[in-house]
Structure 1
């Protein structure tokens, strides 16, 4: 038993492996058989039947016979061989000769692949032949119709084609022999050769019919429209020169001469049917002509601007210089009373220098206008630049003048603020002395003194000559903040004093019955007499709140209502 059981297990495994291999090969044989059937079912016979509907002559007959013989050979000779091989493979599998079966299967796979490629090639050639016949028939009719239409157009409008008429007609004449050759090839069954003629005619037709459509329009441009535009520009150029326009810088006449030379060259190119570069250059010429019109119009607009604004801008310049001179004088007066930075002080002087420089440019422009030897477009541009610069300088010096005027306003405003702050400080001190206080704390006295010192500093800065408003405003800001702080602190202190008095009055009702509270109130009163008002408020509030929780809120409400 020790050896029998392992032997049985090994035998079972071997048998299982054998049957697995057998099943695998049977599946492969079945797959190859299906592949063979697919080749046999390819529609070669149906396609060969379609060929019979064509002219069975010449090339078509030869190709038909070759395809039919190849198909017959595959179906009657090669496929039976594959059947034999499939049968052999099955026998080898049944006999468990798997290695031999594999060799046969590979041979079958190779043959089937080869035959399949042969079938695909035949079907492709059949499709090409049948498709060529149909395409040829449709496209040749289209070409013949286009040819007839082109020939009719060329004959009816021969004048419109100028020197291109004869070469176009010669190229059209070459179509007829090819049409005849096509008909002969089709009649003799040479559809593929006929296809080559159709393709060649289509290519030539695309070029030739396009030429016939486009040349009349192109000739109209170079023989009529462009020469008419050139003539119009020349006349306009001459009229403007007679009206004293300076146009030399535009070089329009030289460019027009070059265009006229181009037009002569274009006629020869059109006669050679080489119109692509002509079309491209015509587009460029039309753009150039448009630019000539724009340039001449620009000169007309420039002259109108110069005529309308020359004197006006001159007057504006003189007004700006006059105003700036006044500002310079005013600045000198202002500097005696107010201190301003060197940069600020130089603003009117710099404006004046720049305006005088602009006056020199204007004077040079005056000479150009009188001599009429400069382009009006250029003079217009210069005038506009002058006007813009004058307006900017005018605005700059006006802003400076406004700043100088504001110095006096700022001074008066500062004095008014200072007076208001003096009154506020005085009222604060008076309010403290009138209050029923044991005295004013040292800290409050120190803050009052500091506020008074800041008032003194601000007053002194306002008495300087020349006056430095920047320093004045800075000192005034410090004084203003200091006085407002001390005033707010004083008000808060007096409110606390009144609150202390009300708390003590409220707490008196508990003194006899609550010795602890009585003692705390005594401490609060001592702190009050010692001018420690914040501490007095803390003691009194703590005592009352301990005796009657929520009492402080009642007292504050009562104090607010009485206030």
Structure 2
């Protein structure tokens, strides 16, 4: 029983599977039939393309050469499409329709792929043939259009050369020769185009376009250059010659610049550039034209410069003459003053030499000025050069007078400096005598040798200053340095004198005060004896003061300070501060 049920289940499964397979086959067959219908529609749409008309239209263009070869290849492709491919497509589609009723699915798929590929390739070939046919028509159209345009351009160039041949000067022969060559090339291109040999026509067309463009540029560029060389520049040269003659008649001169020679060179360059233009080299001719224009402007500028310079030169003559005269008078005054001062003073900064150099510069300036004035009187003046001289003269004279003023200022105070130096010398001498009297009035047993040495040094310095001041020529710079040194040394001598007075006076008072302790204090007696020796025999008053002051402060603390304060109170001065030892 169980085996029977299991067998029934298997049979049902097989039936269901068979149904599914059958339905799948039906579905695929239906899909193939739809694709066959689509391919049939596409093939019919390709057949509607009017390739035959286009082949016929292009065939009527009388093609030759490579263009004809291209056309014949397209014609062969068209024949293949029409007589072979379409028929094969119909056969394969019909066979595929019949096969779609069967169940050999792999064979059916292979046949479908094959016919689909054939249809697609045919469609691509039709589009390619159609595009190439259109390209041949477009090239033919372009070439015919080019023929029309180039013919118009050629006729325009020819008309320009015929109507305005006078505007091209020596270039006309070569321009007409190029036009003739252009005409020959144009005829060749026209013939190739009519014959339909578009490949060769294209090569000729490119060269023809280039040659036409070059000729067009030449026709545009040459007339203005030729006009400058034959009208503008010659007129300007004529004007330059006339202007130069007028200026020469009015006695204008141009220094080392030879204007007739410059004008002649300009004329030569004009003639040379006409030859350049004849060779159809407008770019080179333009460079030379620019150079000619600059040279013409240069000559104009030279003449205008002389015209512009005359008025200011004439106006400046009197002012420069007065400036030179003033500088000469100031130089004369300065040299006299330096000569006078040089008899009494040493001039250490080359004042006299500098003044003489400045005077020589003034003489040179005056010489140039006189030569310029004579040139004007002789009607040989180059006014621009004289104007330049005047500008330099004003500048140089200004600097010279500034230097003269500085020299006068530097020596003007020599007399006052001498007077002040002599007054200071008298004061130094008075101070020395005053210090000497102060020391002599002390009635000391002797004077320390160090003080005497310093005193004599200062005295000798003062004496040397007096000697230098009595020289026929006084070196005030040296005198000034001596004054500063003596003043410093005299101040130091004053301090040393005060120290000598104070130390000797205080030492004397402390020795007297120490007498009260000599019997009761042996150390005081000993110190008093030593201090007396230093005071009376060695003249070392500061050491004597220190010796006795030290022992008194031990015996009677504060005694030295009290006696010292009393001394300075009586003297009416403050105790001087001790300078640090050097």
Under a length normalisation based on structure 1, what TM-score does the superposition of the two structures give? Answer: 0.53
Q: Within 1, Cα distance between the matches of 2:331 and 2:298? A: 44
Q: Within 1, Cα distance between the matches of 2:154 and 2:229? A: 23
Match for residue 307 of structure 2 among 292, 300, 313: 300
Q: How does 1:162-561 map to 2 (within 5 A)?
A: 162-163=168-169, 164=171, 167-168=174-175, 170-179=177-186, 181-182=188-189, 184=192, 191=199, 196-198=203-205, 200-201=207-208, 203-205=210-212, 207-247=214-254, 250-264=257-271, 266-267=273-274, 269-340=276-347, 344-349=351-356, 351-352=358-359, 355-356=362-363, 358-387=365-394, 390-412=397-419, 414-415=421-422, 443=450, 446-447=453-454, 449-483=456-490
Q: What SS does the aligned partner of 1:465 have?
A: coil
Q: Within 1, Cα distance between the matches of 2:541 and 2:405? A: 60
Q: Within 1, Cα distance between the matches of 2:279 and 2:237? A: 25
Q: Deviations over 1:29-49 (max 9, x none)?
A: xxxxxxxxxxxxxxxxxxxxx
RMSD of aligned residue pairs (Cα, Å): 5.7
Q: Within 2, Cα distance between the matches of 1:292 and 1:489? A: 88
Q: Within 1, Cα distance between the matches of 2:175 and 2:433? A: 113
Conserved? CA contact 2:327–2:401, under 8 Å: yes
Q: What SS does the aligned partner of 1:162 have?
A: helix
Q: What SS does the aligned partner of 2:413 have?
A: helix
Conserved? CA contact 2:313–2:383, under 8 Å: yes
When residues 428 and 194 of structure 1 are mapped into structure 2, their CA distance, relative to the original with a 3 A threshold, is farther
When residues 384 and 60 of structure 1 are mapped into structure 2, their CA distance, relative to the original with a 3 A threshold, is same
Q: Within 2, Cα distance between the matches of 1:138 and 1:444? A: 128
CA deviation after TM superposition for structure 1 residue 472, in Å: 1.0
- 2:90 corresponds in structure 1 to none
CA deviation after TM superposition for structure 1 residue 287, in Å: 1.0
Conserved? CA contact 1:143–1:205, under 8 Å: no
When residues 281 and 444 of structure 1 are mapped into structure 2, their CA distance, relative to the original with a 3 A threshold, is same
Q: Within 2, Cα distance between the matches of 1:415 and 1:256? A: 78
Q: Within 2, Cα distance between the matches of 1:135 and 1:341? A: 103
Q: Say which one has the larger Rg.
A: 2
Q: What SS does the aligned partner of 2:252 have?
A: coil
CA deviation after TM superposition for structure 1 residue 215, in Å: 1.6
Q: Deviations over 1:323-351 (max 9, x none)?
A: 33333332332223213369544554555
When residues 225 and 143 of structure 1 are mapped into structure 2, their CA distance, relative to the original with a 3 A threshold, is farther
When residues 161 and 144 of structure 1 are mapped into structure 2, their CA distance, relative to the original with a 3 A threshold, is farther
When residues 417 and 294 of structure 1 are mapped into structure 2, their CA distance, relative to the original with a 3 A threshold, is farther
When residues 177 and 345 of structure 1 are mapped into structure 2, their CA distance, relative to the original with a 3 A threshold, is closer
Matched, 1:161 2:161: no
Conserved? CA contact 2:143–2:193, under 8 Å: no
Please, which runs of 5 or more residues in structure 2 have no aligned partner? 1-57, 73-137, 504-522, 555-573, 578-582
Under a length normalisation based on structure 2, what TM-score does the superposition of the two structures give? Answer: 0.52
When residues 58 and 419 of structure 1 are mapped into structure 2, their CA distance, relative to the original with a 3 A threshold, is farther
Conserved? CA contact 1:461–1:471, under 8 Å: no
Q: What SS does the aligned partner of 2:220 have?
A: helix
Please, which runs of 5 or more residues in structure 1 have no aligned partner? 1-52, 66-133, 498-517, 545-559
Conserved? CA contact 1:368–1:374, under 8 Å: yes
When residues 474 and 60 of structure 1 are mapped into structure 2, their CA distance, relative to the original with a 3 A threshold, is farther
When residues 332 and 289 of structure 1 are mapped into structure 2, their CA distance, relative to the original with a 3 A threshold, is same
Q: Within 2, Cα distance between the matches of 1:454 and 1:149? A: 113
Conserved? CA contact 2:345–2:474, under 8 Å: yes
| Aligned pairs, number | 398
Q: Deviations over 1:168-206 (max 9, x none)?
A: 355245445435645737976674x55653553455355
Q: Within 2, Cα distance between the matches of 1:321 and 1:339? A: 25
When residues 209 and 441 of structure 1 are mapped into structure 2, their CA distance, relative to the original with a 3 A threshold, is farther
Q: What SS does the aligned partner of 1:326 have?
A: helix
Conserved? CA contact 1:299–1:376, under 8 Å: yes
